[in-house]
Amino acid sequence: MKKQVGISLTALMFVGFSGITGLGAEQAEGVMVTQNSESATGYTIDFCYKDEKATNVQVTGSFLFYESGDLQVWANGFVLPGNDKQANHCINPQEWSAGRALRHLNDVGSKIDMEQTGDGVWTLALDLPGGSYSYQYSVSYDNGENYERISDPVNLPPCNDMGAEQVRSKFYVPYDEKQGEPEYNDWSWVTPIEDEAAQGTVEALVYPGLDGEQIGEIYLPADYDENRETPYKVLYLSHGGGGDEADWFYQGNAGNIVDRLTAEGACEPFIIVCMDITVYAGQFEGASRNDDYYLYCYKNIKEYLIPYVEEHYNVLADAQGRAFAGFSNGAKLTTQIYINDPAQFSYYGMFSGSSAWAWPELEDYSAYKNADIYLAAGWADQLMMQNSYHTDGDKTLMGFKELLDAAEITYNRGGSYVTVEGAHDWFTCPQILRDYVSTTLWK
C-alpha cells in the first residue's frame, strides 16, 4: 500500500511552485508563503496560475473571518432576520488586523479576483494569519459568464494518489508575533511534528465492502507494532456530506494532530480508520436525512470494515477498544449507530450535527448510559442551531443535547457540550478533534 507520510513545515510553506521567484524574476506558478516584515500578519501568500485561454481567474479559498462573539454570525446567523445572512457580516482577508479577535470562517467562502500580468499569467498576493488553508482556482473562458473550479495543477492533493478524490489544494501559514493571540492564531499543532520518528503513517485501506471493494484510509501511530502485547484501540472517524475517506487526514490534519498529542503524552498511541460514506449516498433519496442510508453505511462498517481491520491489524477486538465519531453527516451517522447499536462502541463523538430526528421515545434509556458521549460544534456552525431545531427533522447538536438531558444521559463527562471558534468547516473540525482526544478519548 502507498503511504502518505507527514509533509515538512517547509514544504507546506513553499508548495507547488515551479520556476524561480525573486526580484525581477518571472512569478513562479503555485502558491508561496513568505515571511514579510511589511505584512499585517508577518506573512504574504503569493498565488500564481497560468492559463493563456482564461479571461477571468479567481482564488476561491478559506480566507474569511468573523469577530469572536459576534452574534450576527452565531450558528450561521440563526438569530438574523430572514432577509439577512451570515455572509453579510464576514470580514475579508484584506481587512484583517491584529487586535480585532478575528476568527476563521468557512472552507471556500472567499472569492478574490486575480490580476492578469501578461502571457496568461494570473497573480494574487494576500496577507493571512496562521492556519491550514484550502483553495481552488475558479477559471472563466467567457468573460466571467461561467466559471469552473480546478485544483492548483502544481499543488495537487497528494492523498489522491491513494484513491481519494480531494479537490482543494492546501498550504499552511505559520504564526508570527504580529498576529497576536497565539492561543488561537498559532496553528502549528496541525502541521507534521518536527521529529520524524514521532510521525505516524497514513495508508490506503482496500477492503471487501457491502457493494464490492471499498477504499478507506488508516492512520498507524509511530512505531506501530503488529506484535505488541497490548493491542491498539481504534477510532473510526467519518467525514461529512460529499466528502471521502481522505477528508480527516488531508483537510483535517488528523494524523498530525494525534502525532503531537501522542508525543506530548496527552493520549496513548491508537489507530484511526476513515471510511467513505458518500459512495452509498446515491442509492438513497435525500440521503443526508434518510435513516436507511445511515443504517446501510453502518452495515458496511459493522459487517465488513471492522472485521477487516480486526483481522489485519493488531487491534483490541471489543467495544472497549472501539470509538466512533464524525463531523456533520458523520455526526448523523454516529448518532444513528448510537441509537441502534449503543454497545458496539465505548465512545461516541458527535461533531457539528446529529440525527436528533431519529431519537426513540422510550420509558427506559438505561441501554444508552454505558457509552461515553461527546458533543461539540463551532460557534458559527450551521448545525449547532438552524431552522430544523425542534422539528421532526432536527439535525442540530443542541436538539440532540436536549434529548439526552431529558433522558438523563450524561455527555462530555457530565459537563456541557464543547464550543470552539469557527463554522461548519475544516477550521472547526481540527479544534474539536484535538479537544476530544485530549480530554475524552480513551480516558
Across residues 102-121, what is the average pLDDT? 93
pLDDT tier at 27 (50, 70, 90 boundaries)? low
Note the pLDDT of residue 227.
Answer: 97
Instruction: State pLDDT tens for residues 161-199.
Output: 999 999 999 999 999 999 999 999 999 999 999 999 999
As a whole number of angstroms, the distance between CA 58 and CA 293 comes to 36
As a whole number of angstroms, the distance between CA 275 and CA 3 comes to 16
Note the pLDDT of residue 107.
Answer: 87
Please state the domain extents for the chain. 3-189, 194-439
Note the pLDDT of residue 26.
Answer: 58
Q: Is the pLDDT of residue 20 over 90?
A: no
CA distances from residue 36 to 56, 122, 136, 278 in whole angstroms, order as listed: 28, 21, 24, 42
- b/e string for 53-81 if b means 16 or more Cβ within 10 A? ebebbbbbbbbbbbeeebebbbbbbbebe
Instruction: State pLDDT tens for residues 402-411.
Output: 999 999 999 9
* Under 8 Å between Cβ of 235 and 334: no
Note the pLDDT of residue 23.
Answer: 31
Mean pLDDT over all residues of the chain? 93
CATH number of the domain located at residue range(s) 194-439 in this protein: 3.40.50.1820
pLDDT tier at 14 (50, 70, 90 boundaries)? very low
State the residue for C-alpha cell 477487516: 308
* Under 8 Å between Cβ of 276 and 216: yes
Residues in contact with 47: Cβ distance below 8 Å, sequence separation at least 6, in sequence order: 30, 31, 59, 114, 123, 124, 125, 126, 135
What 3 state SS string does 336-349 have? HHHHHCCCCCCEEE
pLDDT tier at 342 (50, 70, 90 boundaries)? very high
Note the pLDDT of residue 11.
Answer: 44
Across residues 287-303, what is the average pLDDT? 98
Note the pLDDT of residue 111.
Answer: 95
Q: Is the pLDDT of residue 128 over 90?
A: yes
What cell was used for 110?
472567499
CATH superfamily of 3-189: Immunoglobulins (2.60.40.10)
pLDDT tier at 6 (50, 70, 90 boundaries)? very low
State the residue for C-alpha cell 430572514: 82
pLDDT tier at 109 (50, 70, 90 boundaries)? confident
